[in-house]
Amino acid sequence: MRATLGVMALLVLAGCTERDPTYCDESIPCEGPGLICDLEKKECVPAPDATSDLSLISDTTNDLPGGHDIAADLPQFDSAGDIAPVDLTPREGCVNTCPKTGARQCVGNGFQLCGNHNADPCLEWGPTTACTANQFCLEGTCLSWKTVSSGITTELRDVWGAAANDIWAVGTCSGILRYNGQKWAPDTRYDPTCGRLSQTFTSIWGSSFKDVWLTYESGALLQPILQKSYPGTTLDLFAIWGSATTNAWAAGKTFLFWSGASWTEFKPAGLTHPIRGIWVASPNTAWAVGDYGTMWKLAAATTWQPQTVSTTEHLGDIHGTTASNIWAVGGFGTTLRYNGTKWSDVLTPTTKGLNGVWTASTTTAWAVGDSGTIVRYDGAKWVAVMSPTQKKLNAVWGSSPTDVWAVGEAGTILHTEP
């Protein structure tokens, strides 16, 4: 009512019968919808809507102490008038120094967690949590090797798995053990009691959980899932590996090739020392190692050629991830690495014989050997890892760099655990 009387009074004083609809001041408001009064011009102007440019808000009138622009903190709206997603890009020089909350990294023999550990809104690595004296840090987790019950006391010669919860270990007395993700149990079909007809299983490999092969030291081969045996050869066999159901090699004092239908023997001239380890990457890429620095390379589909390396130590095993990332291990702590062009000696912190190797990546490999020796390649060098046993370890295999198994004499089984 007070504003209406003021308007009427002005109209009478001016001698007008109508007011100017664009005029306004402190006492005369704008009457149209969506209008506000510009008091400097005394003129009605459209009110800014939700999508107005907040940059029009002057820093000189909206700064907080320190020069912070409050317009940057006001809600932003999209074309539909809804509040737009908040931009979490760090401001004022703040930079994320780790990838995401919960990420982990090793620092020395400890680990750090990624998160917001200080007053700014950015992510950074937190303080280092040290691993215990018998642990090592790998992929941001403190781990150690622990003994797992096998239920047997006979020697285990090899280990291989189709998955983290489907792992096989084989050895003397026709011993076959299988791990189901919870415990190891013997396969009693193959006389684990060291009976009169027992033989030694020397190696195991499979293309899947349904296609598993074992070698007998006597030269025979076995498919335990199908319970089928093959005479193979009259010569000893110590190793087997393949790349597919139709491409596998067994080796010892000769070579045998599996085509998917039958085993065929190929004994190259000059093979005088037994093969102890073999690794197959593809139908045309395979390597084999053995006693007195013996090394052979598959040069064609079924043609093996001897190779010259820088050691005469017995080489006990070989494994890789690609044709340019292969490790071979042997006596007196010997390790050789192939980069796709040449083999090179790499120093290790042990002089114990190394009997088994498993390569996880270009930056992680495991090797095991005599007197419970365990060493790990960390991407730059081999480092010694504390072992819970003094028993000879014969083989190592993993489902991942941090889920690794080793087997050896007296039924020894070891596993990496937090």
* Element counts in the chain: helices (H) and strands (E): 2, 37
Q: Are 88 and 121 in contact (CB under 8 A)?
A: yes
pTM of the model: 0.76
Please indicate whether residue 5 or residue 208 has the higher confidence score (pLDDT).
208
Query: Do residue 11 and residue 112 come from a single domain?
Result: no
Query: Do residue 41 and residue 108 come from a single domain?
Result: no
Label residue 9 by pLDDT band (50, 70, 90). very low
Query: Do residue 153 and residue 17 come from a single domain?
Result: no
Alpha-carbon distance values, 312 to 143, 164, 277, 296, 330 (Å) = 35, 36, 16, 14, 10
Query: Do residue 80 and residue 223 come from a single domain?
Result: no
What digits encode the pLDDT tens for the residues 309-330? 999 999 999 999 999 999 999 9
Q: What is the mean pLDDT of residues 150-174?
A: 94
Query: Do residue 98 and residue 186 come from a single domain?
Result: no
Query: Do residue 193 and residue 306 come from a single domain?
Result: yes
Non-local (6+) Cβ contacts of 82 within 8 A are none
Q: Are 110 and 128 in contact (CB under 8 A)?
A: yes
Label residue 292 by pLDDT band (50, 70, 90). very high
Q: Are 175 and 156 in contact (CB under 8 A)?
A: yes
Owning domain of residue 225: 139-417
| 310 occurs within a structural domain | yes
Domain tally for the chain? Answer: 3
Q: Are 229 and 213 in contact (CB under 8 A)?
A: no
Query: Do residue 41 and residue 112 come from a single domain?
Result: no
CA distance linking residue 62 with residue 381, whole number of Å: 58
What digits encode the pLDDT tens for the residues 100-137? 999 999 999 999 999 999 888 899 999 999 999 999 99
Non-local (6+) Cβ contacts of 161 within 8 A are 167, 168, 179, 397, 399, 405
Label residue 194 by pLDDT band (50, 70, 90). low
